[in-house]
Structure 1
Amino acid sequence: MKPYCGRHFTDDELQALCRLIEAHPGSSRAQLSRQVCELFDWRKPNDELKDMTCRVAMLRMQADGLLTLPAARRAAPRQPEYLPTHATDPQPVLTQPVHELPPLRLHQVVGSANSRLWNEYIARYHYLGHTPMAGSQSRYFVFAGETLVALLSFGASAWKLAAREQFIGWHDEQRQRNLQLVVNNARFLILPWIQCKGLASKILSLMQRKLPKDWLARYGYRPVLLETFVETPRHRGTCYQAANWIKVGQTAGRGKKCPTSKSILPIKDIWLYPLHRAFRSVLCR
């Protein structure tokens, strides 16, 4: 059977899952996903249940005709629009080189007010806009002294990337088992009025040291590899190169569920940064 969300379900497990659904007709999809995780001991490295991942897996099984879930009890909430407010208005242009700036500070986004503010900045100034992040994630504000200069986010890595897999040297089973140890730099925004030479690569260098500690504190494990995608020719990836990231190839231009072999999305360069000397041994174990 094909894997669902990184986990292979045997025929016996699928039958057990169907029996569980039939035995609890009054349960919601959320309740069922937690029960399935308990049944199969499907957990994150920090021992929390992978119930959100399980719910996605069951929805995909239902789409494949393998099971029937109870009807959703409420419609999926609409994603909020982050219309510009004065809180994210442009500020005076800053042009000092990075070595003349006050010390840089990386602040994790904590609390709903800061989360909304981060989302508004990204929606307003990042060319890709704001899209919700699922699963493990960490977002940051970057300050030079008291001045906000940049924003970043990190989250789940891409499911499959031919160039990445070749660089790591792992096979499918190892990838499915250890993919959580690869973290994706999903957004990196230097605010448009911040024009400081060397700033972006300096931020990346600081983040490469800070992120593994923050991830360990929040999720109970350290990632060993970072990845990101740079859309060409819009960007050249100069800051990643300056921060010692490695360009390993390009994406195929197809989404995860793309029905065609033709490229329908922008081609992007794939950049990787090892966080551990023995990252290949860890990922291929």
Structure 2
Amino acid sequence: MEVSRRVQGRTVTDNDIKTIQSIIASHPKWHRTRISQELCHLWDWRNDAGRPKDIAARALLRKLDKENLIDLPAPVKSANNAYRYRSKHEKPEYQPITERLAVIRPIQIRQVETQAQAQLFRSLLSHFHYLGYSGPVGENLRYLVYDCQDRLLGCLLFGAPAWRVACRDRSIGWDEEDRKKGLSRIANNMRFLILPEVTVPHLASHLLAKISRRVSADWQDKYGHPIALLETYVENNKFQGTCYKAANWVKVGETTGLTRNYRAGKPKAPIKSIWLYPLGSLYHTISSKGLQA
């Protein structure tokens, strides 16, 4: 009897694993990226915009390798993390911005598209965000934020949602099948940074309101499908989620502190409050019910 498993949102059978093993054995000089590209081609694995899901394929390969189901070649280079980035790049300095919000409007939100913008984005999160930045995984949108004088204020990152969160799914009214169908219509606000030199009252909630009016259209342009709901996870021992509350996000519960890799006796992850923001009529494409706090 053939066994199947769910990996990276895709059903992977024993025959699929044999196919991957054959690719690796037949091309011993191929690196991981080349293998993932071939896998996307063989499976015709694409997003709604028709682009190969190469990043998802690489993540799938890593998970299968970790479970000893395949034997990937060694990485070409070690993955960069925020610490390595900070150690090689001097921390940038910015001038203080303390004016009232009305003075620095209109706020400009620019999607990261060029290499220079990507380097700046990485620098900001690596140096100023407590979680750092190790690079995007899966579908994502990166934004840089400027004031009316073109002064840098901060940045935002939206990416793939958490796979399964009981209180989120219950608040939406999802059963297991609904979750599988609707998960790609959720974007996770994974990073939100306002530079430490910027102290402008109400700026954070203003940015959240402003970005919520464009993120779905930007997602549609890049990936071929809209976003219906935003989510974020706020560490309770560090923050209160004040700006999300002010921007009319809804707190629906807290995480348990347990991860998929949790084992008894091991440290738990920080408890986080879960905040959701439905994007108007689009929300009703993933739920027939109103959001339940």
CA distance in 2, matches of 1:15, 1:172: 29
CA RMSD of aligned residues (A): 2.6
CA distance in 2, matches of 1:238, 1:73: 41
Residue of 263, 268, 278 corresponding to 2:272:
268
The gaps in structure 1 that reach 5 residues or longer are none
Residue of 222, 225, 228 corresponding to 2:229:
225
Percent identity of paired positions between Structure 1 and Structure 2:
34
Worse-superposed segment, 19-28 or 225-234: 19-28
The answer as to 2:228 corresponding to 1:249 is no
Aligned CA distance change for structure 1 residues 283 and 58 (closer, same or farther; 3 Å): farther
The answer as to 2:83 corresponding to 1:72 is no
State the partner residue of 1:282.
Answer: 286
Residue of 204, 212, 219 corresponding to 1:208:
212
CA distance in 2, matches of 1:260, 1:196: 44
Deviation at 1:246, TM superposition (A): 0.8
Q: Secondary structure at the match of 1:81?
A: helix
Aligned CA distance change for structure 1 residues 150 and 73 (closer, same or farther; 3 Å): closer
Residue of 184, 190, 200 corresponding to 2:188:
184
Aligned CA distance change for structure 1 residues 118 and 36 (closer, same or farther; 3 Å): closer
1:69-112 Cα shifts (integer Å, max 9, x gaps): 4x2362335445135647x314134142x233331111112322
Residues 185 and 227, structure 2, Cα contact 8 Å, conserved in 1: yes
CA distance in 2, matches of 1:77, 1:263: 25
State the partner residue of 2:139.
Answer: 136
TM-score (norm 1): 0.86
The gaps in structure 2 that reach 5 residues or longer are 289-293
Worse-superposed segment, 74-83 or 243-252: 74-83
State the partner residue of 2:291.
Answer: none
Residues 160 and 187, structure 2, Cα contact 8 Å, conserved in 1: yes
CA distance in 1, matches of 2:124, 2:26: 47
Residue of 11, 16, 23 corresponding to 1:13:
16
Worse-superposed segment, 187-196 or 219-228: 187-196
Residue of 241, 263, 266 corresponding to 1:237:
241
Matches within 5 A, 1:88-107: 88-96=92-100, 98-107=101-110
Aligned CA distance change for structure 1 residues 241 and 131 (closer, same or farther; 3 Å): same
Residues 124 and 154, structure 2, Cα contact 8 Å, conserved in 1: no
Letter of the structure 2 residue corresponding to residue 161 of structure 1: V
CA distance in 1, matches of 2:171, 2:281: 14
Deviation at 1:67, TM superposition (A): 3.1
TM-score (norm 2): 0.84
The answer as to 2:156 corresponding to 1:156 is no
Aligned CA distance change for structure 1 residues 220 and 267 (closer, same or farther; 3 Å): same
Letter of the structure 1 residue corresponding to residue 10 of structure 2: R
1:248-268 Cα shifts (integer Å, max 9, x gaps): 111122334333487612111
Letter of the structure 2 residue corresponding to residue 153 of structure 1: L
State the partner residue of 1:197.
Answer: 201
Residues 181 and 283, structure 1, Cα contact 8 Å, conserved in 2: no
Residues 169 and 280, structure 1, Cα contact 8 Å, conserved in 2: no
Q: Secondary structure at the match of 1:176?
A: helix
Aligned CA distance change for structure 1 residues 120 and 63 (closer, same or farther; 3 Å): closer
Deviation at 1:17, TM superposition (A): 4.0
1:146-182 Cα shifts (integer Å, max 9, x gaps): 2222221111111221111111222334433432221
Q: Secondary structure at the match of 1:272?
A: strand
Count of matched residue pairs: 281
Deviation at 1:238, TM superposition (A): 1.3
